[in-house]
Structure 1
């Protein structure tokens, strides 16, 4: 069994996972309170405003297909340093953007660079740990991720209110620069030379991805992470408009509401660490699936209430979102560990392929949302957000109760 104790202190691994994976929610969440302000300042159409998120997510997924095999061939450290450096430059471009096309292009570049950090953060766990131990370490790291996600929306809302949306985007460059400094000073290479891939041609990569995609454990956990993130993406894409434009929350209050979801996610990661030793990976995912389902059904009930009576108060939506975020805090560390569990020598490629599927699902969800929110009957409605989260909760529960229960551990670890 691999162990980080033989390579580097556990706190370094946990901090690295928190920072590398935590840059993703910072990139997606911190700017949301500023999104209506950004749209007005640059005269963005609703489609362009949506593209600042969906374009980032698509490039995030595609970028992993490139960074993953490179990291399996030459190691994690060089990929992390390159990806974070380029992310800082892309973030600076978002600050100086003067039109929607430049802003969307900069966000696409951010997503491509972000993919290197998140992919390596997942793959290095497989470099160092066996599946269930890795899930516990991943959960500890994602507790740190939850703390960053908790701070991000509040910081973004206050910064947008006091200094404007450009300052909010600039803060991402500062965050990435600090993470790059940590990687440079503290994080050594985690992939030993004898476990690196020797080939990097496209024919070999395609055969490798086909082999990975055929593995039932990979498919189960990839569908788990994709379905739970798909419902979360609905929230990310529509919540700022729903809360600020429809339910008339201020940017600062909306930032606080977002942070309560991050707090619920944080609590979920704590429960993940508590449940794993007693319920195992499969049992923990099954328990979390019940919360995903409950959160989704609650959002459907709120939507039904608004159709039969009146718009609810903004706070009335929060309980369902808290349930969903709590479950998400369990599904993500378990699922992200599970996708690489059967591939100790191909962890980068497996992580990249899973991330690509997740991002593709999110991008398709974004396209559907763009069509739905363009319909006159739904333009000023909370229904697309609520029912989208309902679908995410129901599909996540189904995956947890069926596929993960059957194939949640690779055969060598299923005993």
Structure 2
């Protein structure tokens, strides 16, 4: 699956006989199917860690004799850990290379997940779910940094769309796996399965993913240097624009995930099976659009134009959902499920035009600090999403208006960030048919 990238000779480092780095052409790494599989597995860690556990929440509440709100904290702790952990691991990978922080993070993830399986009370479970999230963040942030190490320009955007194929399947498969595990064991078995998955992923990384950041491209210094690097990235107006636009687009997706179970089942009276079918159909739309983006649009259409189209579709879909929710076209019970399901499908599919391209366009500007840049992209998305998610329930479970308002606000915020900060019409456009890195504009 060779992709066109920078024409300059670039290398990766693998262990030689004496333990030192031996230069090998970078294209050798990026053509491997196993490398794609490993990176896809790393990007699926959030969905596996969060969604596999969802069917077990009621049982956790009963077995640990705790409240539903406390049980929900086990999800919040993991999400918080994944958000904050990226800020730590990203700069570490710029300093020490990708493999060492990634292997350390995966090993801690495996240990923390195994301890979760034997947690005797909710407090310990929450604590180790936080540690699980902090360690799991290594896979998320370093996977993006590795892609930046291996690819340039539109080739990088294509590869991000390929990863979306895997990360899009994970939310569909994870709850199904969790539900089947609960048929043969209890909630602790879910963490046992996650531990096994973590062990397998660690083994694959050890065997198949070589070092991709050459020693001469690494950065020295400690916390102060890491903070200085992040500050310089945030001072880059265009990078900040892509980061904010991507974060708000991702927040619209968080709002969908948080509200759709109540909207579809409580307001429109759909069964859990129907909701699962619609959720899976929307994920298929996400995957299909991601492949359209990677295989057809990227390399033929300017990346900024594709991103602008994705954001515009998010705004249009959210506007339509708001009109449906406010009864503009008629009472929800008279309209039925089709209009709201159609709007959610378009919104979900549009994410595949926004998320991979914001990541690619932002990382094109940061070859000198891909780990730190990846950390900022990931953390901003998780934190903005975490803030947006609770807002969808402010008016209760029997109206879809808050969900649509939050999604529309997020879409408009993404559009404003893109137009006001990125200003693609003022910069050298990304080459539409070559793997050239975008010119860095005045900051």
With structure 1 as the length reference, what TM-score do the two structures score? 0.86
- Given the alignment, which residue of 164, 172, 181 partners 1:150? 172
Q: 2: distance between equivalents of 1:258 and 1:242?
A: 12
For the Cα contact (< 8 Å) 2:262–2:397, is it kept in 1?
no
- Give how far 1:212 is off: 0.7
Q: Give matches, 1:90-239, under 5 Å.
A: 90-160=112-182, 163-200=185-222, 202-239=223-260
Shift in CA distance, 323/50, structure 1 to aligned 2, threshold 3 Å: farther
Mean Cα displacement is larger for which, 227-236 or 48-57? Answer: 48-57
- Give how far 1:33 is off: 4.0
- Given the alignment, which residue of 360, 364, 385 partners 1:337? 360
Deviations 1:188-243 (A, max 9, x none): 0111111011222x222222111110112211221122111111122333444555
- Give how far 1:278 is off: 1.3
Alignment of 1:393 with 2:411, yes or no, is: yes
- Give how far 1:72 is off: 0.9
- Give how far 1:118 is off: 0.6
Mean Cα displacement is larger for which, 181-190 or 236-245? Answer: 236-245
Q: Give matches, 1:315-354, under 5 Å.
A: 317-354=340-377
Deviations 1:125-155 (A, max 9, x none): 1112213221111211222222333322333
For the Cα contact (< 8 Å) 1:29–1:236, is it kept in 2?
no
Match of 1:263, SS state, is: helix
Mean Cα displacement is larger for which, 306-315 or 155-164? Answer: 306-315
- Give how far 1:313 is off: 5.3
Alignment of 1:68 with 2:90, yes or no, is: yes
Deviations 1:33-69 (A, max 9, x none): 4445544554554543443333322221211111111
Q: Which residue of 2 aligns with 1:262?
A: 283
Match of 2:366, SS state, is: coil
Match of 1:343, SS state, is: coil
Q: 2: distance between equivalents of 1:275 and 1:90?
A: 41
Q: 2: distance between equivalents of 1:157 and 1:243?
A: 20
Q: Which residue of 2 aligns with 1:412?
A: 439
Shift in CA distance, 254/360, structure 1 to aligned 2, threshold 3 Å: same
Q: Which residue of 2 aligns with 1:356?
A: 379
Shift in CA distance, 308/7, structure 1 to aligned 2, threshold 3 Å: closer
Match of 2:326, SS state, is: helix
Shift in CA distance, 262/169, structure 1 to aligned 2, threshold 3 Å: farther
For the Cα contact (< 8 Å) 1:225–1:332, is it kept in 2?
yes
- Give how far 1:361 is off: 1.4
Q: 2: distance between equivalents of 1:82 and 1:122?
A: 17
For the Cα contact (< 8 Å) 1:150–1:260, is it kept in 2?
no
Q: Which residue of 2 aligns with 1:89?
A: 111
Deviations 1:3-43 (A, max 9, x none): 84144534244223211112222223333344455445545
- Give how far 1:112 is off: 0.6
Shift in CA distance, 30/387, structure 1 to aligned 2, threshold 3 Å: farther
Match of 1:188, SS state, is: coil
- For structure 2, list consecutive stretches of 5 or more residues without a partner in the other structure: 1-5, 11-24, 431-436
For the Cα contact (< 8 Å) 2:98–2:211, is it kept in 1?
yes
- For structure 1, list consecutive stretches of 5 or more residues without a partner in the other structure: none
Shift in CA distance, 195/109, structure 1 to aligned 2, threshold 3 Å: same
Q: 2: distance between equivalents of 1:265 and 1:6?
A: 30
Q: Answer with 1 or 2: which has the greater Rg.
A: 2
Q: 1: distance between equivalents of 2:323 and 2:182?
A: 33
For the Cα contact (< 8 Å) 2:324–2:332, is it kept in 1?
no
User: How large is the Cα RMSD of the aligned pairs?
Assistant: 3.0
Alignment of 1:26 with 2:53, yes or no, is: no
Aligned residues between the structures: 408
Q: 1: distance between equivalents of 2:159 and 2:71?
A: 36
- Give how far 1:79 is off: 1.4
Mean Cα displacement is larger for which, 59-68 or 358-367? Answer: 358-367
Q: 2: distance between equivalents of 1:306 and 1:237?
A: 24
